[in-house]
Amino acid sequence: MTAPALDDLLGGMHVVAVPMRVPFRGVRVREAVLLEGPRGWGEFAPFLEYGPAEASRWLASGIEAAWEGWPEPVRDTVPVNATVPAVGPDEVAGVLARFPGCTTAKVKVAERGQPSSADVDRVAAVRSALGHGGRIRVDANGGWGVDEAADVLGRLARYHLEYAEQPCASLEELRDLRVVLGRRGLDLPVAADESIRKAADPLRVKALGAADVVVVKVAPLGGVRRALEVVAACGLPAVVSSALDTSVGIAGGVALAAALPSLEHACGLGTVALLGGDVTTEPLVPDHGSLPVGRVPVDPALLERWSAPPDRTAWWRDRVVAAYAHLDAGGPG
């Protein structure tokens, strides 16, 4: 697609700053740019560590949503998982209560500064809350080396994990971990997340045999259409996840999950429940464990309620301009 003129993009942008209910990967306030275009609203909210070239893919995703629209869905609802941050076991039940009807939970592990025993206690509490029929997946965000990952996952295996998401940082480590787990007799699938969205070539996961599942996020891959291409090329089961978005961004993830030919796993798109506010009166929070497919109506009063301070709005405006300059190389095509 052809990107809109920069002036049109900037003219329809709104910057919001929404507090988190609990800190999530160190984030206490989630800032995002909402883009209004002829097809509705898109979101641009790359995390702070992304430079302009990487951030341009997030901008491409927001432009696709607001100016082009999404492919036709093949399902009307998308099953989602609960997300449990690195909280203490006594807080688990309260977190899960924010995800009504969800029978799958993604549990954050390998939190910096916490011992592995905290991971075990947290996962044990989730298993107790979900019962034997619930599914549990753990997400280490690349926080372990191969040996530590194998050891901790061996201790967590008693809780019958669905898979381990990004236990190690690199694709080579994921490949080696799969070998070690196999030698130890642990039948535990490995999922690649950061290795897909941060890699220059997201398809190397298939070439190296580094994962059993791919976790894909719409924004870091450049939009729904680009993400569909990556999933098809990888040839592995896909889980669609979010990047800690408002309901506008989540709607893009739902659009991707709704367009996938096959959807074997619940998706990580229930994270609006972790925010202390939203930009719509119809937030995309789980209902009976699933989310509806469709557009999100943005409420002007909530845009004003969560409006970012002028200095942060200016900072994000500069970031949009910098990312826009890279669209021809890594943005919408």
Tell me if 119 is assigned to a ligand binding site: no
Determine the Cα–Cα distance for residues 69 and 80; give it in Å rounded to an integer: 23
Q: How confident is the model at residue 332 (pLDDT cuts 50, 70, 90)?
A: very low
pLDDT, tens digit, for every residue of 241-292?
998 899 999 999 999 999 999 999 999 999 998 899 999 999 999 999 999 9
Q: Which of 106, 198, 206, 217 is catalytic?
A: 217
Residue 146: CA count within 13 A, CB half-sphere = 14
| Residue 189: count of CB within 10 angstroms of its CB | 17
**Residue-wise over 17-52: b if at least 16 C-beta within 10 A, else e?**
bbebeeebeeeeebbbbbbbbeebbbbbbbbeebeb
Q: Is 206 a catalytic residue?
A: no
DSSP SS3 for 101: coil
Query: Residue 220: left (phi > 0), alpha (psi -120 to 50), or beta?
Result: alpha
Tell me if 165 is assigned to a ligand binding site: yes
Q: Is 198 a catalytic residue?
A: no
Determine the Cα–Cα distance for residues 150 and 42; give it in Å rounded to an integer: 40
Write the single-letter amino acid at 109: V
Percent of the chain at pLDDT exceeding 90: 86
Q: How confident is the model at residue 331 (pLDDT cuts 50, 70, 90)?
A: very low
pLDDT of residue 197: 67
pLDDT, tens digit, for every residue of 5-55?
999 999 999 999 999 987 877 789 999 999 999 999 999 999 988 999 999
Tell me if 7 is assigned to a ligand binding site: no
Enumerate domains of the chain plus CATH numbers: 6-70+301-330 (3.30.390.10), 77-298 (3.20.20.120)
pLDDT of residue 107: 98
pTM of the model: 0.91
User: How far are the Cα atoms of 50, 61, 246, 270, 304 from residue 18, in angstroms, in the given order?
Assistant: 20, 21, 9, 16, 11
